[in-house]
Structure 1
Amino acid sequence: MKTRIQTIILICALALPFFAVKASAQQHTVISGVVTDAADKDPIPYVTVLFKGTNIITKTDADGKYSISTSEVHNQLQFSYVGYKTNYATIKPGETQVINVRLQSESQSLTEVVISSNKRPAYRNKNNPAVELIRKVIENKNKNQSKSYDHVEFKQYEQLVFSLSNLSEKFKNKRIFRNYQFLFEQQDSTKIGGKLLMPVYMEEKVTQNYLQKNPNKKKTIVEGDKHVNYDSKFIDTQGLSMYFERMYADINIYDSNISLMSNQFLSPIADASPTFYKFFITDTIKTHTPNLIELSFIPRNNTDLLFEGKMYVTMDGNYAVQDAFLTVNKNINLNFVRALEAKLDFAKNEDGRYHLSKTNLIVDFGINKNKGGGFTGQRTVIINDYQINKPQGDTTYAGPSLVTLPQAALRTDQFWNAQRQDSTVRSKLSVYKNIDTLQTIPSFKRTMDLITLLFAGYKDFGPFEVGPVNTFYSFNNVEGFRLRLGGRTTPALSKRYYFETYAAYGFKDEKWKYFLSGTYSLNNKSIYSFPQNYVRASFQRDTKIPGQELQFVQEDNFLLSFKRGQNDMLLYNDFYKIDYIKEYENHFSYAVSLRKWTQRPGGTLAFNNTLNNTVNPVDLINTSEISVNLRYAPHEKFYQGKIYRVPIFDRYPIFNLRYTAGLKGVFSGQYNYHNLMGSIDKRFYVSQLGYTDVTLEGGSIFGKVPFPLLVIHRANQTYSYQLSSYNLMNFLEFVSDHYASINIDHNFNGFFFNKIPLIKKLKLRESVSFKALYGGLRDQNNPDMDPSLLQFPRNADGVQTTYVLGNQPYMEGSVGIGNIFKILRVDMVKRFTYLDNPVVSSWGIRARVKFDF
């Protein structure tokens, strides 16, 4: 959930106190129905439906269904489609009604009698002129893309508007808005998003772009940047911008896969598109030069993550897309998405080919698929001054690929008015002033505080905030009931200095735990903002379960107090640390750390060695370390808040390399050793089959060390499914001084469930995972070979519970069902190896909160 906190906070803050779900009851004509072939009763897609004599128009979907409405008075509805007779239906103004229509095929004069079946032949690719046409488009798509030119440059204007949508008159007339009617916008009820909107966010950007083919280079210069500013201690405007940019990505129909809503859709002109789409020639346009053919397309299976719509193809030998309209079938598995439309316009280049000149993407979200209030986002991109084959010098491409001019955020109204050449983008400008007014409403401020507390877990007090609330109370077998209270400073106190602290007390072990850190930003920016550059000093005295590594949650989170199996071994740690972190614009970063670490056993865990056949208890071990971490994450983006930052998973790999050296004799350090670890994380998209997350990791320790300094493999005894941990491995079950592992997690995005009757209505998503770990222990670090080392832990019954991996790897896999209530993933996990170890589970059920579109 945390990866979506900033957007959830904004949405809930605006909607929670006064959200309404029913449309107004004034005179309104609403008509829906199905259009079918009169002969075989098959549904007809893309039939034009309109109120006769008006521009209020819609199209039937892939199942022949339509819905249209108006507040005007009209008596007839018109249905028309190429190859069928136009039909008219009488309607009753001001009522909601269902009208199903059958269209008759147009008869033609024949010179001879032909007897044939009324049933239309099955759709086939073979000898299909529409498929032959799309294959010509595919064959020529390389030359019709911008990357086919040696040099390209253009100026781009983009506008993104996010609104509360489909609001009722009751909502509008609430007392809270009595003096703020200017916040609302009226629009035609046939448009996506409904008839009443309240814009809540807007941003505009102007960039100058340069592309070079050989060698491949790209340069983007941000010349103007303007957006709504929320005066919130938690919502960060830059974070909202990054989140919306991920959701409303650029659409290039010539790409094989198009990224939208954190998913990838197979393009209708991808090489494999004839296998997954049906194509129909639905019109020819001879009034345009060159002549165009209207090519409509629908998915072969309307539950697959594919588009439906139409494109206009030039008949001049280039077979270029001159215009395109993309939407999606309501049956596909997209959370909360009620409607999606993308309109692509192309303009002719000086060489007769075409380039994308305008994109308009609209997505409407809502809890209820069919009615009620929701949220609508609209992104418009306009490309001007498009020039081809105009070489630029090396100085143009020097430095980072993305540069923001210092004056970009300070542009005058005169500058922006010159960029807003389209009337549709100029109509939205009132949102800047309206949001400033909205933030003066006391109820809005109170709601912001409440939502921040519920979702982020912190209560804001200006320069300082208290939290997270889910750690205030927890429990475990060693500490008993554990109470904790803490907090941290915010940028309201200082943009250079940050402090964080907490204190905790265990009522069973009767020990205090505490933490204190101070951070100094070296670039006068928030330490959570990219690129980071800061130094931090900290001290922590607290417990830790060896081998437990959690993602995005605190170890003393109340919900993680519930654990399976034995859980009575932990370490009492004292950490003194100094960290320096430096990030670069190209997303390479390094961190240098100095750490003094003292470990004491707790619970049933004991430090013992054997000397002269005598078992000797050891009170503690001291370690002094220096570490260097290198990280490279090309094209990485973040969900950014004022006081947190979480990476966005994407198709680009992330490389990590860490080297740690133990320093004997430095600050009482007892061991010399070298620890090297490396990992690669990569997401692979498989179009409508979903995506796969793969992690490869390996490491080695050189030197003689006791078991607490070995690699204690990540285990999980909670009932929460942890992606990076082994969910059926016990804490401290396996240790190694050299290892390699692979972690594969694939999400099918409902590819199979969507094809099962009834089940598909639940919008469930299937997933599978597999994890394998190879490892070993050299004799010098094995206490069975060297009794002077600390003995491996044993439980209260004296049974050894820590082991070395043998010739076979540790392996486990899972089959999961996700998107339960749109937020929950439940996995059945199976352990395949080392089933004879004591107190292990061969299978289990684990759950994880996972919020996706």
Structure 2
Amino acid sequence: MAQSAVTSVKGTVTDAVTGEPLIGVSVFIPGTSLGTSTDFEGNYQLRTNQSSSKIQFSYLGYQTLTMPVTAGPEQTLNVKLKTDAKELKEVVVTGKRSKVKYSNKNNPAVDLIREIVANKDNNRPEHYDYVQYEQYEKKELALVSTPEKLKKNILLRKFDFVTNNLDTTVLEGKAVLPFYMEELISENYYRKNPESRKKIVKAEKKVDLGEFVDNQGMATYMQHMYQDIDIYDNNITILTNQFLSPIADMAPTFYKFYLTDTITTDSGQQLAELSFDPRNPAAFMFKGKLYVTLNDTYAVQHVDMEVSKSVSINWVRDLQINLDFERNSDGRYHLSKSELHTDFGITKNSDAGFYGERVVSYKDYRINEPQPLSFYEGEAIVQTGDAKAKDESFWLSSRHDSLSAVERNTYSNIDSLVKMKSFQRMMDWGTALIAGYKRLGPNIEIGPINTFYSFNPVEGFRLRLGGRTTTNFSKKYMLETYAAYGFKDEKWKYYLGGSYSLTDRSIYEFPVRTIRASYQKDTKIPGQELQFVQEDNFLLSFKRGENDKWLYNETYNIDYLHEFENHFSYRVGFKNWRQSPAGSLQYLQAGGSLEGDEPVEVKNLITSEVSLELRWAPNEQFFQGKLYRTPIINRYPVLTLRATAGVKGLLDGQYDYQNVALNIYKRVYLSQLGYSDVVAEGGYTFGQVPFPLLTIHRANQTYAYQLQSYNLMNFLEFVSDQYASVNIDHTFNGFIFNKIPLLKKTKLREFVTFKALYGKVRSENLPENNPDLLRFPTFEDGRQATYTLENKPYMEASVGIGNIFNFFRIDVVKRLSYLEHPNVSDIGIRGRFKFDF
């Protein structure tokens, strides 16, 4: 049988004038789909069994060339393309993406990307032994809407000098009204071995939003949202999400790359224009263009990229990134400017929203100029004494970029605004609704408002009124008090506390050094230590199952907290605690040794204990609220070690015991798969103690989902004198839902949680082995209510959907063990408010 002749051609395509190799030239057989492209050295190879007498070369901006070929042995055909005589003012390069099936094989764009990846380490600042540069940073937040709506806004129309300061050049068809500005100039140093970084802040200027807002926390949160963008990192973190870099090690697996143009710079250097798109348009990746040098450095010189509209990022309507690089004296490149622009809104079609940007520029790079060894020691970030006192003449001469007129006016406008009485009243009521505290004059505020009314089985309806002094009264000390009354038990409850700062700063301002003392007489659920809410919060009054085992507590506390700049802290304290059972809870000793002896009821327990807490949270960031610090989670672990010792005979203390517990928290980022919050904890109690002094594991009988509690465990269900636990809460961040057409528009998020707890109680602390110990609690019908974890771990898992209406999460929780216990639920639905990007 006769076989078709093989046509095999190879060669190089160059510019007819300059002789430079041309990248991405289409080489094909006319009238067929058979073809290839030149690689980044201009080489091509085409082989086919199909009979052909000619081959065609096509390249944007050049004349198409057709050359004759013959079947038979491989032939070499080097061609020179001439530029097109037509002069184009504007060229839009789209490539042949729709007609030709994309493949990484024989793709010169992918070959070039692999060269870029292979040379990444050589193109980073870390390539050098020492690097020094000056950095200027500008961050901005602004309201966005149409000019008419901003001027007519019911909250802003009284402040026309603010609404007149609009910028209509940033977003097409909309106006931008800045309300927060921050600028920073710093000198930065890097040492490779041993690795060390040092930042000296020379100048800082930012809008002061007044006493109702944590200004430092605002700056910290902005820094968390807009982190440094390193194109050479595999993953780029923006707005708490991780995006895969277009030059990540595995980029060709997840991106499509096209060589769309070659550009010659003013200096005569040739750059390749690489366009890229994510293979999955809904994945957390970018689309855009890279401009890369074609010499042996394969360095990125410019980046324009954005997040595709198909990507579901909560609140974000548009996100764009621009990066510029400059050439060092040794021919390599450093980042010279980074811009991140974000348009936020509840919906994509809404006029209203927020606009945020971060612009960072770098100059005066100095390479391999070491500083003295002592220079790199101490704090990583140091601020000069006059950094916040620089005058306008300094900023005019030192800014890398000048401010627009609107940006310049923002500082003075907001400063005037926060001094206006009408604005202060508006912020006062806004703070009351959000944070729960309302001013009564400049020195006192009442709250928290959500604790004014609540109910529980022991107290019935409970009314509470409390308040505290403000920083206007004193920054050095704060007084706080409340009184509450239960209409069922007809008892008053009280609290009186005070804190004193040992620094010249507020008692809230980091790093804190305070002494705190308090007296409290109130109710409590055994084992409950709520972090960010209080038990008499109205919403927590609604509980499932039986919830009538409570305590009356009377406690005296004094402690000293000392925080350091490196985010290590220690707290030492003393607590005298008198606890009495309430509701159906009883403290009963086993009684005499004879069978049938009645148990002895114990009215109360008294303990006196000293405590030490060591905490290390490297690079911790937080937003300081009215009640609590809200942590801004990063990739660093948080370690907390607690130790307490009960002292018998001290202020009527009845027991000697020691307890130690270690808690480790870590967020683990998994790139496209989202991230996991992992908490591991273990503890041990030394000494012989009754069950109220054992570890009563954190249970939750409310309908609110609690991350640090076991959501289908009953109060007082499990106790241990030694235990270990792990809690994994994984956020897929839309990895699954973004691939489902009908669901990706909802911007819903997927959650999976697993919790496991294992522990035991030593023989000496089991009441059946010692009649002096208290019996474990029972239900009214005599069934056991409190257990140990001797046989198997307690486990529960949940599957959740988050970002409902942008801030609500619902979980279906399944209890996996100890299902035979009385009055337990094996499955439940829990909800939680969760604001996130």
Q: TM-score when scaled to structure 1?
A: 0.85
**Alignment map for 1:337-376 (pairs within 5 Å):** 337-376=316-355
TM-aligned CA deviation for residue 174 of structure 1:
6.5
| 1:238 match | 216
User: Bigger shift: 206-215 or 280-289?
Assistant: 280-289
Alignment of 1:606-645 (within 5 A): 606-612=586-592, 613-641=597-625, 644-645=628-629
Q: Please give the alpha-carbon distance, in whole angstroms, between the structure 1 residues aligned to 2:626 and 2:708.
A: 27
* SS of residue in 2 equivalent to 1:512: strand
Distance in 2 between residues matched to 1:181 and 1:487, nearest whole Å: 36
Q: What does residue 17 of structure 2 align with?
A: none
1:438 to 392, 409, 417: 417
Aligned residue for 2:108?
A: 129
State the 1:180 CA deviation. 2.8
Greater Cα offset, 798-807 or 437-446: 437-446
Checking the alignment, whether the CA contact within 8 Å between 1:812 and 1:829 is kept in structure 2 is: yes
Partner residue, 1:329: 308
From 203, 208, 211, give the equivalent of 1:229: 208
Summarize the alignment of residues 73-222 of structure 1 with structure 2, pairs less than 5 Å apart: 108=64, 110-111=66-67, 120-172=99-151, 177=157, 180-181=160-161, 183-185=163-165, 187=167, 191-192=170-171, 194-222=173-201
CA deviation map 1:36-91 (0-9, x unaligned) = xxx9xxxxxxxxxxxxxxxxxxxxxxxxxxxxxxxxxxxxxxxxxxx9999xxxxx
Q: Which residue of 2 aligns with 1:94?
A: none
Counterpart Cα distance in 1 of 2:566 and 2:668: 22
Counterpart residue type for residue 539 of structure 2: L
AA partner of residue 225 (structure 2)? M
Which letter maps to 1:469? I
Which of 248, 260, 274 lines up with 2:252 in the alignment? 274
Residue of structure 1 in register with 2:503 after alignment: 523
Distance, in Å, in 2 between the alignment partners of 1:118 and 1:393 is 55
Equivalent residue pairs, number: 751
Match of 1:92 in 2: none
Rg larger in structure: 2
CA 1:173/1:852 → structure 2, altered by over 3 Å: closer, same or farther?
closer
Conserved 8 A contact 2:134-2:185: yes
**d(CA) in 1 for partners of 2:647 and 2:807?**
46
Question: Does structure 2 retain, via aligned residues, the 8 Å contact 1:193–1:364?
Answer: no
1:678-757 pair list within 5 angstroms: 678-757=662-741
1:540 and 2:520 correspond: yes
1:536 Cα shift? 0.6
User: Which secondary structure state, in structure 2, belongs to the residue aligned with residue 667 of structure 1?
Assistant: helix
Please give the alpha-carbon distance, in whole angstroms, between the structure 2 residues aligned to 1:570 and 1:517.
Answer: 23
Note if contact 1:521-1:535 (Cα within 8 Å) is conserved in structure 2: yes
| Mapped partners of 2:628, 2:684: distance in 1 | 32
Contact 1:161–1:202 (Cα < 8 Å) also in 2: yes
Listed one character per residue, the Cα deviations across residues 642-694 of structure 1 (whole Å, up to 9, x for unaligned) are 76422211110011111110100111011001101001100001112110000
CA deviation after TM superposition for structure 1 residue 420, in Å: 1.5
1:206: how far off? Answer: 1.0
Mean alpha-carbon deviation: is it higher for 500-509 or for 644-653? 644-653
**Offset at 1:329?**
1.0
Question: CA shift at 1:188, angstroms?
Answer: 5.5
Identify which range, 460-469 or 425-434, moves more after superposition. 425-434
For residues 385 and 634 of structure 1, do their structure 2 counterparts lie closer, same or farther at Cα, with a shift above 3 Å needed?
A: same
Q: Residue deviations 1:533-587, cap 9 Å, x none?
A: 1101111111111122333111111011100000000111111011100011111
Cα separation, partners in 2 of 1:572 and 1:186, compared to 1, 3 Å: closer
The runs of 4+ residues in structure 1 deviating greater than 6 Å are 83-86
1:257-277 CA-to-partner distances (Å, cap 9, x unmatched) read: 111111111111111111111
Aligned ranges 1:368-387 → 2 under 5 Å: 368-387=347-366
CA deviation digits over 1:162-206, x for unaligned, max 9? 1112333243266964873564455566x4475422111111111
Tell me if 1:397 matches 2:376: yes
Contact 1:207 1:220 in 2 (8 A): yes
Instruction: Give the structure 2 partner of residue 456 of structure 1.
Output: 435
1:692-718, Cα deviation, whole Å (9 max, x unpaired):
000110000010000000000000000
- Alignment identity in percent? 55
Q: Distance in 2 between matches of 1:598 and 1:395?
A: 53
**Counterpart residue type for residue 234 of structure 2:** S
Cα separation, 2, equivalents of 1:632 and 1:665 = 34
Deviation by residue 1:341-396 (Cα, 9 ceiling, x = unmatched): 11111111111101111111111111231231211111111111111101111221
What residue number does 1:507 align with?
487
SS state at 2:408 partner: coil
8 Å contact kept, 2:236–2:243: yes
Q: Contact between 2:623 and 2:632, CA under 8 Å: does it hold in 1?
A: yes
Say whether the 8 Å CA contact 2:723–2:760 is kept in structure 1.
yes
1:49 is aligned to none
Q: Is the 8 A contact 1:343 1:360 kept in 2?
A: yes
Q: State whether residues 533 and 581 of structure 1, in contact with CA within 8 Å, keep that contact through their aligned partners in structure 2.
A: yes
Q: Structure 1: 5+ residue runs without aligned partners?
A: 1-38, 40-82, 87-105
Contact 1:526–1:642 (8 Å) recurs in 2 = no
* Preserved contact between residue 144 and residue 354 of structure 1 (Cα < 8 Å): yes
Q: Distance in 1 between matches of 2:794 and 2:618?
A: 32
Q: Work out whether 1:794 is the aligned partner of 2:778.
A: yes
Partner residue in 2 for 1:566: 546
CA separation in 1, counterparts of 2:605 and 2:97? 87
Q: Following the alignment from structure 2 to structure 1, what is the Cα–Cα distance between the partners of residues 236 and 781? A: 58
Q: Tell me, what secondary structure is at the counterpart of 1:762?
A: coil
Distance in 1 (CA, whole Å) between partners of 2:197 and 2:104 is: 39
Match of 1:652 in 2: 636
User: Cα 1:302–1:577, aligned 2, differ >3 Å: closer, same or farther?
Assistant: same
Name 2:296's counterpart in structure 1.
317
CA shift for structure 1 position 110: 3.6
Q: Distance in 2 between matches of 1:85 and 1:274?
A: 25
Give the counterpart letter for 2:261 in structure 1. D
Aligned amino acid, residue 608 of structure 2: S
Structure 2 CA distance for partners of 1:193 and 1:443, relative to 1, 3 Å: farther
Distance 2:389 2:109 in 1: 51
Distance 2:750 2:158 in 1: 47
3-state secondary structure, aligned to 1:432 = helix
CA distance in 2, matches of 1:606, 1:545: 13
Separation (CA, whole Å) in 1 of partners of 2:628 and 2:761: 38
8 Å CA contact retained: 2:136, 2:400: no
- Report SS of the residue matched to 1:688: helix
Letter in 1 for 2:653: G
The one-character-per-residue Cα deviations of 1:736-792 (angstroms, maximum 9, x if unpaired) are: 000000000000011101111211111111110000001000011000111210000
**Distance in 1 between residues matched to 2:300 and 2:769, nearest whole Å:** 72
Whole-angstrom distance in 2 between the partners of 1:422 and 1:236: 28
Question: Structure 1 84/826 Cα, relative in aligned 2: closer, same or farther at 3 Å?
Answer: farther
Query: Which amino acid letter does the alignment assign opposite residue 217 of structure 2?
Result: G
Q: Is the 8 A contact 1:168 1:373 kept in 2?
A: no
Q: Which runs of 5+ in 2 are unaligned?
A: 1-30, 32-57, 71-95
Distance (Å, rounded) in 1 between the aligned partners of 2:309 and 2:272: 27
Matches within 5 A, 1:280-299: 280-288=258-266, 289-299=268-278
Task: Describe the superposition over 1:132-156 as per-residue Cα deviations: whole angstroms up to 9, x where unpaired.
Answer: 1111111001010011111011111
Cα distance change on mapping 1:643 and 1:479 into 2, 3 Å: closer
SS at 2:759's partner residue? strand
Amino acid at match of 2:759: G
Q: Does the Cα contact within 8 Å between 1:280 and 1:297 map onto a contact in 2?
A: yes
